[in-house]
């Protein structure tokens, strides 16, 4: 099996070798350097889009998670309905709907960036709500009782006792969501957002070198996400060192 | 408040159900200011439920509970008033694991009583000294022994300066060699005049400290009286059997 894979890989490389045209993104040539810079420029919006969207979805997710933990049935039903509906819509469809549909419905036109942020944040907030709900539920009942016994208000109990413990536990899941968000942000290219994927597509139109350009695109995402993952692990380790 | 002999806690015909199961049956109990009450009884007899009703960690269904002149209901104003007067120490300590000892102690005073950081800290140090661990102030709970953690939990309650302290089996989760240090702190508290209701099976402590001994079984108060009376001449057979079991253990 292993040998077969290696054979296939070698054949592919040999077969393709004549067809690789790395000159399009070769940084030692002036044209290649310009093209490469053009592609890397998309990094700015990929990061800005993902980070803005996740900042919003974390807050919305928390606000949706809290009623899900309420003893009152109506509040819990609100939580379930929100999560089920939002989770059911494909992100791409949501992006198209927010960008093309929402202006007709509300009269408010969002630019490409904010339409992308809104769609990504909305979609992610359902997952964030589930993550927060599970994280908060994992904090022991005794922590609420101890807070009540010193008369701490609900807000302060959440803010100083429950959430700090819950967030430490859900940090790996939040890290995963950030990575997921960075990958999903590529979909915003369909409405013209100048992020990594859009830049690659535009370059292909003028250079006709999809293999090389998409390979660079894959590497761009790979490096970005490896760096983010390492950052998340670093934060996790630091928080763990400071407790439990 | 005008009559110092009036009970500071008064429970009248209190019943509590968990679904169909009745955990408390028509409980009547009066506790005077400064009185030390020890509650014992077999597992599942409703000891925890009884004291948890006093600060409304559980809500009773029927009957009336009056704490320091305030009737216990869901009214948030009454509830805050009562919880401000009633501290609780748990079997599992329930310290806040992500906060240092000093932050565990100052959280309530700062956020609930509105003390400044400096005042809250001074108060916390005062009570850490009282439970004899001022040197552990900057550690996290997990870095302390069980006995030390429980003493921090007692200090955390004291920082709210309650008039009544409830203890739910405060030494049951401790290794034997640490029980004494916690009982010593509690004995000292009792001597200082604190009103205490203690669920425990430490009969030596009960004999030394209790003014009133309560024995519960199946959700009822079966026997109540001064320790010297109930220990030497238990009126009910169930209490007699229970004592034998505990002492032979
Ligand atoms: N949240 C709850 N839901 C359902 N039943 C409960 C709940 N809490 C307590 N009970 C039941 O009520 C009864 C009394 O419980 P309680 O904890 O007051 O007993 P206890 O005397 O403190 O026992 P132990 O010595 O084991 O702590 C038990 O039968 C218990 O199973
Ligand atoms: Mg109990």
B33 contact A CB<8A:
no
C-alpha pair distances (Å), B96 with each of A183, B105, B107, B141, B155: 37, 10, 10, 8, 13
Nearest atom in ligand 1 to the alpha carbon of residue B45 is: 21
User: Which residues in chain A are contacts of B149 at CB distance < 8 A?
Assistant: none
Contact call for residues B26 and B15 (beta carbons, < 8 A): yes
Helix (H, G, I), strand (E, B) or coil at A195: coil
User: Is the model's pLDDT at A33 over the cut of 60?
Assistant: yes
Q: What is the structure's pLDDT at B35?
A: 96
Using one digit for the tens of pLDDT, what is the confidence trace for A86-110? 999 999 999 999 999 999 998 888 9
Contact between A49 and A116 under an 8 Å Cβ cutoff? The reply is: yes
Nearest CA to ligand 1 atom 25: B43
Does ipTM surpass 0.85 in this model?
yes
Q: How far is the CA of A136 from the centre of ligand 1 (A)?
A: 24
Closest CA to B36 of B243, B173, B190, B146: B190
Tens of pLDDT, residues B133-174: 999 999 999 999 999 999 999 999 999 999 999 999 999 999
Strands B70-71 and B220-225, sheet pairing = unpaired
- When CB atoms are compared, the residue of B80, B94, B96 closest to A151 is B80
Residue B111 near chain A (CB below 8 Å): yes
Mutate to test the interface with A, among B107, B114, B165 (most CBs of A within 10 A): B107
Tens digit of pLDDT for each residue in A35-71? 999 999 999 999 999 999 999 999 999 999 999 999 8
Q: Which residues contact B232 (CB under 8 A, 6 or more apart)?
A: none
Nearest CA to ligand 1 atom 30: B44
DSSP 8-state assignment for residue A161: I
Q: Give Cα separations from A2 to A8, A10, B113 (angstroms).
A: 10, 12, 69
Measure the CA–CA gap between A176 and A157, rounded to whole angstroms: 27
* B195-199 sheet: strands from edge to edge: B86-89, B164-168, B195-199, B36-40, B212-217, B220-225
> Is the CB of A151 less than 8 angstroms away from the CB of B142?
no
Residue A3 has pLDDT above 80, yes or no: no
pLDDT in tens, A195-215: 999 999 999 999 899 999 999
How much is the pLDDT for B3? 60
Please judge whether A152 and B107 are an interchain contact, meaning their C-beta atoms are less than 8 angstroms apart: yes
Q: What is the atom index within ligand 1 of the atom nearest the CA of B50?
A: 18
Distance CA B33, CA B105 (A): 25
Q: What is the pLDDT of residues B65-116, one digit of tens each?
A: 999 989 998 888 888 889 989 999 999 999 999 999 999 999 999 999 999 9
Average pLDDT, rounded, for chain A:
90
């Amino acid at each position: 099996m292993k040998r077969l894979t290696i054979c296939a890989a070698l054949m592919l490389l040999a077969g393709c070798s004549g067809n690789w045209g790395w000159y399009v993104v070769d940084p030692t040539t002036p044209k290649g350097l310009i093209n490469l810079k053009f592609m890397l420029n998309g990094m700015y919006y990929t990061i800005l889009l993902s980070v803005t969207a996740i900042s919003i979805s974390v807050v919305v997710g928390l606000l949706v998670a809290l009623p899900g933990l309420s003893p009152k049935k109506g509040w819990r039903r609100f939580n379930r309905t929100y999560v089920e509906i939002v989770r059911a819509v494909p992100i791409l469809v949501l992006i198209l709907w927010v960008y093309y549909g929402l202006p007709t419905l509300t009269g408010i036109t969002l630019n490409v960036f904010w339409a992308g942020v809104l769609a990504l944040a909305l979609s992610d907030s359902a997952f964030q709500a589930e993550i927060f709900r599970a994280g908060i539920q994992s904090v022991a009942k005794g922590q609420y009782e101890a807070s009540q016994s010193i008369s701490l208000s609900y807000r302060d109990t959440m803010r100083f006792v429950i959430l700090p413990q819950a967030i430490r536990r859900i940090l790996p899941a939040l890290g995963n969501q950030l990575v997921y968000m960075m990958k999903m942000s590529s979909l915003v290219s369909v409405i013209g957002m100048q992020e990594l994927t859009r830049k690659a597509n535009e370059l292909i139109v003028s250079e006709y070198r999809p293999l090389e350009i998409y390979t660079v695109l894959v590497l761009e995402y790979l490096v970005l996400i490896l760096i983010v993952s390492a950052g998340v692990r670093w934060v996790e380790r630091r928080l763990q060192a400071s407790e439990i | 408040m005008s009559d110092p002999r009036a009970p500071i806690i008064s429970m009248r015909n209190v019943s509590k159900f968990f679904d169909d199961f009745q955990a408390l049956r028509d409980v009547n109990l009066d506790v005077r200011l400064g009185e030390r009450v020890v509650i014992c009884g077999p597992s599942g007899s409703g000891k925890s439920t009884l004291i948890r009703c006093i600060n409304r960690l559980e809500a009773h269904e029927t009957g009336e509970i009056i704490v320091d002149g305030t009737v216990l209901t869901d009214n948030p104003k009454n509830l805050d008033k009562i919880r401000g007067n009633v501290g609780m120490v748990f079997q599992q300590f329930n310290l806040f694991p992500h906060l240092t000892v000093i932050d565990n102690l100052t959280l309530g005073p700062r956020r609930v009583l509105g003390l400044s950081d400096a005042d809250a800290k001074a108060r916390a140090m005062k009570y850490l000294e009282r439970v004899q661990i001022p040197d552990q102030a900057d550690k996290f709970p997990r870095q302390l022994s069980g006995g030390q953690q429980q003493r921090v939990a007692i200090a955390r309650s004291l920082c709210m300066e309650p008039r009544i302290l409830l203890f739910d089996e405060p030494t049951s989760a401790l290794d034997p060699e640490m029980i004494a240090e916690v009982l010593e702190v509690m004995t000292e508290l009792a001597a200082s005049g604190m009103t205490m209701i203690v669920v425990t099976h430490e009969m030596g402590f009960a004999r030394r400290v209790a003014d009133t001994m309560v024995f519960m079984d199946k959700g009822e108060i079966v026997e109540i009286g001064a320790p010297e009376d109930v220990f030497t001449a238990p009126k009910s057979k169930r209490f007699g059997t229970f004592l034998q079991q505990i002492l032979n253990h």
